[in-house]
Amino acid sequence: MKASGTHDARREGASGASRSVRLMATCLADAFFDDVARATVEVLEHFGCRVEFPADQTCCGQPAFNAGDWEAARRVARHTLRVFAGDEPVVVPSGSCARMASHGALMLFERETDRETAQALAERSFELADFLVRELGVTRLGGRFDGRVAFHGSCHCRGTSYAESALVLLRSIPGLELVTVGEGEQCCGFGGTFSATFPGVSTRMGDLKLDHLLAGAPDVVVSADMGCLMHLSGRAQKEGRPLRALHVAQVLRDALRPAHSAS
């Protein structure tokens, strides 16, 4: 799969040519956001990467980890360690799952005999935008995406360069205007199992987040986390509030396609 558009004129920095990467698609991409996985492949291939998709991948173990059932989380995470064994970078179109692979798993296996295996995977696991900026050296995407964009940096992006890498790429796209979002550090209210355990609090948080995101009249709300997009889209639909939500990978892919706009 190769994205259309001029290749060399639309990027600065190192090329990923002839570099193999492995895609961790995540549960939400598998169940609800299949186009995010497709967009991720197209963007990576546009920058010269060969994308491998291990067909027997399942979950990274984060739901059980966050719920405190670390024994169950280890069983799931050990399968991930086996599936993604090797030397290739693992690219994840999710700040949440990338953070689990690069940080949560280190806590999960801290006193386990396979701690070094978890450490090795952590060191070569990357969120998509961060991989493009910090590993491939992409600082200017180019292409075109006409529209006003409100960016939501998820909680799992805190303490990382994930959100800033996404913003570097978004700011570089001609035609794309980033609008100011109030209280940008505020959680959207999803939090995985939090939204199921505390639905009332989660609902109020989601509605407040929508207020801030939509205050600047954006054409589209963008995030690097599908969980946040699912929660915000659900709240918007429930309340009858117009909202178009896209993952960062979809915006990057669409920008590289000719004659694209957010409308």
> Per-residue DSSP letters for 115-180?
HHHHHHHHHTEEEHHHIIIIIS------S--BEEEEEE--GGGTTSSHHHHHHHHHHTSTTEEEPP
pLDDT tens sequence across 200-256: 999 999 999 999 999 999 999 999 999 999 999 999 999 999 999 999 999 999 999
Confidence (pLDDT) at 263:
58
Q: Are residues 209 and 236 in the same domain?
A: yes
Average of per-residue pLDDT across 94-101: 96
Domain-ending residue, one of 135, 155, 183: 135
For residue 47, tell me if it sits in a domain.
yes
Structure tokens at 260: 């694209």
SS3 21: strand
So what's the pLDDT on residue 114? 95
For the chain, percent of residues with pLDDT exceeding 90 = 85
pLDDT tier for residue 27 given thresholds of 50, 70 and 90: very high
Same domain, 64 and 122: yes
**Domain co-membership, 131 together with 151:** no
pLDDT-based confidence at residue 193 (cuts at 50, 70, 90)? confident
Among the ranges given (49-53, 56-60, 187-191, 207-211), the one the predictor scored with the smallest mean pLDDT? 187-191
Residue 13 corresponds to which amino acid? Answer: G
Mark whether 83 and 190 lie in a shared domain: no
In a domain, 2, yes or no: no
CATH number assigned to the domain comprising residue 81: 3.40.50
Q: What is the pLDDT at residue 184?
A: 87
Residue 183 lies in a domain: yes
- Same domain for 100 and 24, yes or no, is yes
Summarize pLDDT for 117-163 with one digit per residue, the tens. 999 999 999 999 999 999 999 999 989 999 999 999 999 888 899 99
1 pLDDT exceeds 50?
Answer: no
On whether the CB atoms of residues 234 and 263 are closer than 8 A, the answer is no
Q: Which of 113, 135, 157 is the last residue of a domain?
A: 135
Assigned domain for 3 exists = no
Q: Residue 246: is it exposed, middle or buried by C-beta count within 10 angstroms (0-12/13-18/19+)? A: buried
155 is in which domain, residue-wise?
147-255
- Is residue 240, in this structure, part of any structural domain at all? yes
163 and 112, same structural domain? no
Indicate the pLDDT class of residue 26, thresholds 50, 70 and 90.
very high
Instruction: Clarify whether residues 71 and 172 are in a common domain.
Output: no
Residues 249 and 156 in one domain: yes
Of 112, 135, 158, the domain-final residue: 135
Are residues 225 and 155 part of one domain?
yes
pLDDT band at 196 (very low <50, low <70, confident <90, very high): confident
Are 121 and 39 found together in one domain? yes
Q: Tell me if 141 is assigned to some domain.
A: no
- Taking the C-alpha atoms of residue 108 and residue 60, their distance in angstroms, rounded to an integer, is 12
* pLDDT exceeds cutoff 90 at 15: no
- Please determine, for residue 2, whether its predicted confidence score (pLDDT) is greater than 80: no
> What's the predicted TM-score (pTM) here?
0.91
Total number of domains constituting the chain: 2
Cα end-to-end span (Å), the chain: 25
